[in-house]
Amino acid sequence: MSPDRRFRRLGLVVHPQRPLDQALATIRAWADIHCDEVVQVRIDGQTREVAPAGDPAACDLIIALGGDGTTLAALHAAAPGGRPVLGVACGSLGALTATSASQLEDALADVAQDRWTGRMLPGLEVTGAGGAVHGAINDLVVLRRGASQVIVGVEVDGEPYVRFAGDGVVVATPLGSSAYTMAAGGPILSPGSRAYVVTPLAPHGGCSPPLVVDAGSRVRLSVEPGWGGARVELDGQVLDLESRELEIGWRPELATLVAFPGGEGPLTGLRRRRILLDSPRVLARDDRAAR
């Protein structure tokens, strides 16, 4: 067996409310042996403190303690420095968490022995006014802010696709396609697909089905916010972006997620969480066979 790897600095991103005592105790005991320093990566709006503040770019590994939302925040913090993120479920196991708090000791042992792989997550590059570029791992959402509708025009590589009035639009990666996009009637993209999907939200009349866009193409959204206004969200975070023209492209490697050999696949995870569910007729047949 090769000697355990020693880490210079470990970063933590924590859920603001969930119980974390078990996971924190496991990390601190492990860090006493394998790590020189443990710091906390501060997230905007987060006041909970479990360790001294530190720069995510200076960390060898970032551990997210909470759930998918916490892991997503950690991925955004880690992405500029190219740091990997280990998602730890302190509750139910989600799509981005690789282990649970109860199994964290074994997961950290695998990390120390380099028995893990980096799962590269693609993302969206969103360009607004002035050329400012933002990244989304799950989705970009444009939503009406008041009671009035917004009008959205969609172009792909300069070719008009559709203009519609409605609640807004979602543009999602394969990872994000099982979230808001699916809830709005859009398709799930297979993990590993080099494509993203544009899904109109509650379009009023006309014909504007969800559109799957090749990774090599660029989408332009033109937004007329109406009297109530509109807001732009990237991965659930409101973006201070007043531009009515948004250009969206594909980034093949936006963030790195820690994964372990033999871990659960994305589609299996969707079935376990019953986001994907077999039809009642098939389930009834299985029940009869079991009896």
Domain layout of the chain by residue ranges: 7-116+260-282, 123-252
Q: CATH number for 7-116+260-282: choose from 3.40.50.10330, 3.40.50.2000, 3.40.390.10, 3.40.630.10.
A: 3.40.50.10330
User: What are the catalytic residues?
Assistant: 68
pLDDT-derived band at 243 (thresholds 50, 70, 90) equals: low
Q: Check residue 208 and give its pLDDT.
A: 95
Largest separation between any pair of C-alpha atoms in the chain: 66
pLDDT digits 0-9 by tens, 46-95: 889 999 999 999 999 999 999 999 999 999 999 999 999 999 999 877 88
Give the domain 123-252 fold.
Tumour Suppressor Smad4 (2.60.200)
CA distance 291 to 285: 10
Asked whether residue 275 carries a pLDDT value surpassing 70, the answer given is yes
Domain 7-116+260-282 and domain 123-252 have a common topology: no
